[in-house]
Amino acid sequence: MSGTELVLRSTRVVTPGGMRAASVAVADGIITAVLPYEAPVPGTARLADLGDDVLLPGLVDTHVHVNDPGRTEWEGFWTATRAAAAGGITTLVDMPLNSLPPTTTAGHLRTKQRAAAGRAHVDVGFWGGALPGNVPDLRPLHEAGVFGFKAFLSPSGVDEFPHLGPERLARTLAEIAAFDGLLIVHAEDPDHLAAAPRHGGPKYADFLASRPRDAEDTAVALLLAEAKRLDARVHILHLSSSDALPLIAEAKSDGVRVTVETCPHYLTLTAEEVPDGASEFKCCPPIREAANQDPLWRALADGVIDCVVTDHSPSTADLKTADFATAWGGISGLQLSLSAVWTEARGRGHGLEDVVRWMSTRTAELVGLGTRKGVIAPGRDADFAVLAPDETFTVDPEGLQHRNRVTAYAGKTLYGVVKSTWLRGRRVMTGGEFTEPKGHLLTRIP
């Protein structure tokens, strides 16, 4: 305990060995020891006694659209990272699109980093983008520190970020595999989408029919085949279709280097509950039927799905029209993701240890931050969320921190109140009050 500056004590600490009473010692922003609950506190150290609130490792959200610079009226680093801190997230990784310029060259990455500098309440890293024609930019972006590369297999919704067809996917993936990088993919097949029923108007059932499961399944099969052929690392983004799970399980058993994420909205919301015209529920791939949800939870429990991330994708409120054909597709979930997942998980017999594994440990590992983030253990960053897991709250959009306070969770009662959030041993949020920004800009660890 020599040199200890801070001790956080709780009767419930989520450690790699399970939940237990413990005292966590911190020096220079790093966890130095996880000790018995009764361990004496050095006279020079400050004690934070958390009582029975649960001490979790800060969450790591690897799928966030901050939209800054260029579309800052949609979101921004200041507001997005406040929302993250309010929800117990201490690290986020920003997607390369919806900002202008998109993060598709090393120069554009520097533009993004300048936009974030001094404005982040939590740590922030960056994905690069893989577009038709930017294969020569991929290695320089990798060397500049992006955590991997985002690609779409169907239109992205913004003109400046076109999708990859099968030939360009193969070329892009071969280049990324050459330096053992990671390609993360929005997997929907454009031909299946084009063949699906056209839709317009307020009926959610019509929108759902326009984004069928087979569009996901076909794109996932293509990606898995290319990953196997090239021995490349790939990650399937925001999996919605449970029909794709057998393909993924088989690929994993065959040694294909694939990981998979899903999102809180697929795990906690269902198509049957979406009111007509309520485009705050619109996202792509879509929220599917209740019968689709149970297999996603089983796949999480079995490890076929690796992690849970928000895909926080906000817009201005005027873009969320009552017409599902024209409304912006995206769900804002940073502040509510932990509580939403915990509410459903506890009802299904899962513990907070499971939630931490899905939303912190495995996400940190996905982006190569597993030696720094994602667990409460010596040598890791002293990033924490303090949660009252049995307390409830009702979601009021006015209490949200993201810039445009539109949410699919409005009016829902959720379990799990985030009492405070800590970044490298310093409290950055307490009871909805925030310090000045203390987040670091992260780059891939070589």
The closest alpha carbon to 384, from 427, 351, 435, belongs to 427
Q: How far apart are CA 186 and CA 183, in angstroms?
A: 10
Rounded average pLDDT over 64-78? 97
- Whether the pLDDT of residue 351 is over 80: the answer is yes
> What DSSP assignment string belongs to 165-222?
-HHHHHHHHHHHHHTT-EEEEE---HHHHHHSPP--SS-HHHHHHHS-HHHHHHHHHH
Cα–Cα dist 65/311, whole Å: 7
d(CA 210, CA 198) in angstroms, rounded, equals 6
Average pLDDT, the chain: 97
Give the containing element (helix H, strand E) for 110: helix 106-116
Average pLDDT, integer, range 24-29: 97
- Predicted confidence at residue 200, as pLDDT, reads 85
Supply 391's token pair. Answer: 């307390």
Percent of the chain's residues with pLDDT above 90? 98
- What distance in Å separates the CA atoms of residue 281 and residue 188, rounded to the nearest whole number? 19
Lowest mean per-residue pLDDT among 120-134, 140-154, 198-212: 198-212
| Radius of gyration, CA atoms only, the chain | 21
279-333: per-residue pLDDT in tens? 999 999 999 999 999 999 999 999 999 999 999 999 999 999 999 999 999 999 9
From the number of C-beta atoms within 10 Å of its C-beta (0-12, 13-18, 19+), residue 180 rates as exposed
Residues in contact with 136: Cβ distance below 8 Å, sequence separation at least 6, in sequence order: none
| 1, pLDDT greater than 80 | no
Give me the pLDDT at residue 332, please.
Answer: 94
> How far apart (Å, rounded) are the C-alpha atoms in residues 200 and 195?
15
Predicted pLDDT at 381: 98
Predicted confidence at residue 199, as pLDDT, reads 80
378-407: average pLDDT = 97
When pLDDT is cut at 50, 70 and 90, the band that residue 2 belongs to is low
Closest listed residue to residue 15, CA positions, set 357, 333, 441: 357
Q: For 423-434, write each residue's pLDDT tens digit.
A: 999 999 999 999
The mean pLDDT value for 128-152 works out to 98
Query: pLDDT digit string (tens) for 77-122?
Result: 999 999 999 999 999 999 999 999 999 999 999 999 999 999 999 9
Over range 8-18, report the average pLDDT.
Answer: 97
Place of tokens 């006015």: 398
Confidence category of residue 416, pLDDT binned at 50, 70, 90: very high
| Mean pLDDT (whole number) for 61-71 | 97
Instruction: Give percent above pLDDT 70 in the chain.
Output: 100
380 near 30, Cβ under 8 Å? yes
Distance CA 99, CA 170 (A): 26
| Position 446 confidence tier, pLDDT thresholds 50, 70, 90 | confident
Per-residue pLDDT tens for 30-60? Answer: 999 999 999 999 988 999 999 999 999 999 9
